[in-house]
Amino acid sequence: MKSWAITTTNIKRLMRDPSTIFFVFVFPMLLILVLGASFGGGFTPKVGLLLEGQGEFARAFSDELTSDDDFTTVDYDDRDLLLEDVERGVVQMAVVIPADYDTKIMSGQVAEIEFVGRADQSVVQYRSTIEAVVAGESAIVRAARLLETEGLNSFEEGTTLARAMATGSTGPEVEVQTMGESLFGEDLGQFDLGAPQQLILFVFLTSLAGSAALIQTRRLGVSRRMVSTPTSIGEILVGETGGRFAVAMIQGLFIMIGAAVAFEVRWGNLGGASALLILVALVGAGGGMLMGSLFDNDEQAGSMGVFMGLGLAALGGCMVPLEIFPDTMQTIAHITPHAWALDGFAELIRRGGTIADIALELAVLAGFAAVLLALGTWRLRAKLTH
């Protein structure tokens, strides 16, 4: 009961701090969104399409582009607006079919299609896809021109015939084979990779930086005053640990549920994901207790907490996926609890693992939690009574 009073007071104080609310709840979700949108899979580029000519060839080209699954086309009727949207990234590229497109094709001249992309690497990838559509249309025009030259059909009849032939026949196909497994799984959702990284990063970061609150309680003299009440040191330590744990759990649950609802992140086996979250929160609470008992200055502890939280996260694979680390760095990464927690989530999310499949990861995290909590409470007990 007394421990619960200490724990709930910790939570109440956290919830009253607007900056904490932002960094604990809002910022992690923003990062998941931004990283998922920028680097996650499932991204379909948008092509802005301006049809200045309305002839048969222009419409045929437009239809071909629209039916391509690699793009989403957005129709424009204002050239300036289209170019501005490319520049701002509203659409990734622009295709302009000029007014004289049909005339030039019919008269045997070279018809040009204007392609506008952003000045970065993506323009190369997008251009090749647009060129494939252009090549298809060019083949039809060349076939029609051949039939006309040979006196077999008019150009218009030849075009109709060639288009029908192109639709009904198949050309050579490139068979693509892959070797080995995909690093991140075949059906990984856009946010599935980043969400566990941000979950672990922020739970640890908040716990370590939150050690400042523990020091503040000591510096205010409230901890000593608690000792003066008929509350045992054990109850105080359980209450303070509970406070750190509860804050970590609340944040972790918010990120998990929020990411599942807002970004359709699949966390895999419920039991396994819950066990991982509980242990990550316990390790974070232990780290926060230890830092809160080692330092006497809350500002110093807060800064060190952020530094360690970010440093361990980077080393443990929360910023760059562990899978692309060199082998040696992957081994070194596993001195952090982050790497073990990420391994656990990878097993659950990407390979459909169960709680039994992550037993090793859970055991290691439990070990981290036990050691950190034991050291933290031991140090804090000494600080309170000596």
Q: Which residues bind another protein (CB under 8 A)?
A: 1-2, 5-6, 9, 12-13, 16-17, 217, 220-222, 224-233, 385-386
CB neighbour class for 324 (10 Å; exposed up to 12, middle 13-18, buried from 19) = exposed
**Residue whose pair of structure tokens reads 């982050």 in the numeric block:** 338
The residue among 70 and 299 lying less far from another protein, judged by its C-beta, is 299
The residue among 108 and 234 lying less far from another protein, judged by its C-beta, is 234
Q: How far is the CB of 5 from another protein (least distance, A)?
A: 4
Q: How far is the CB of 27 from another protein (least distance, A)?
A: 21
- Alpha carbon distance 27, 132 (integer Å): 42
The residue among 19 and 169 lying less far from another protein, judged by its C-beta, is 19
| Nearest Cα to Cα of residue 97 among 137, 155, 128 | 137
Radius of gyration of the chain (CA): 30
Number of Cβ atoms within 10 Å of the Cβ of 224: 13
Q: How far is the CB of 233 from another protein (least distance, A)?
A: 7
Dihedral pair phi/psi, residue 129, rounded to 5°: -70, -40
Element (H, E) at 9: helix 2-15
Element (H, E) at 115: strand 114-117
**Residue whose pair of structure tokens reads 């996650």 in the numeric block:** 40
- 3-state secondary structure (DSSP) of residue 265: coil
Q: How far is the CB of 265 from another protein (least distance, A)?
A: 34
The residue among 102 and 235 lying less far from another protein, judged by its C-beta, is 235
Q: What tokens were used for 355?
A: 């709680």
Task: Give residue 209's identity as a one-letter amino acid code.
Answer: A
Element (H, E) at 134: helix 122-149
The residue among 211 and 217 lying less far from another protein, judged by its C-beta, is 217
Q: What are the start-end ranges of the H helices in the chain?
A: 2-15, 18-21, 27-39, 56-66, 79-88, 101-106, 122-149, 155-168, 194-209, 211-219, 222-228, 233-263, 270-294, 298-315, 327-333, 337-350, 359-385
Q: How far is the CB of 92 from another protein (least distance, A)?
A: 48
DSSP 318: S
Q: How far is the CB of 319 from another protein (least distance, A)?
A: 33
The residue among 255 and 301 lying less far from another protein, judged by its C-beta, is 301
**Residue whose pair of structure tokens reads 């809350």 in the numeric block:** 298
Task: Give residue 336's identity as a one-letter amino acid code.
Answer: T
Q: How far is the CB of 311 from another protein (least distance, A)?
A: 29
The residue among 220 and 374 lying less far from another protein, judged by its C-beta, is 220
Q: What tokens were used for 152?
A: 């077999």
Q: How far is the CB of 215 from another protein (least distance, A)?
A: 14
Element (H, E) at 158: helix 155-168
Q: Residue 96: beta bridge partners? A: 50, 114
Range list of β-strands (E), 202-261? none
Residue 335's contacts (CB-CB under 8 Å, 6 or more residues apart) are 315
The residue among 46 and 218 lying less far from another protein, judged by its C-beta, is 218
Q: How far is the CB of 386 from another protein (least distance, A)?
A: 6
Angle, alpha carbons 196-197-203 (nearest 5°) = 85
Dihedral pair phi/psi, residue 94, rounded to 5°: -130, 140
DSSP 24: I
The residue among 2 and 145 lying less far from another protein, judged by its C-beta, is 2
Q: How far is the CB of 382 from another protein (least distance, A)?
A: 10
The residue among 142 and 219 lying less far from another protein, judged by its C-beta, is 219
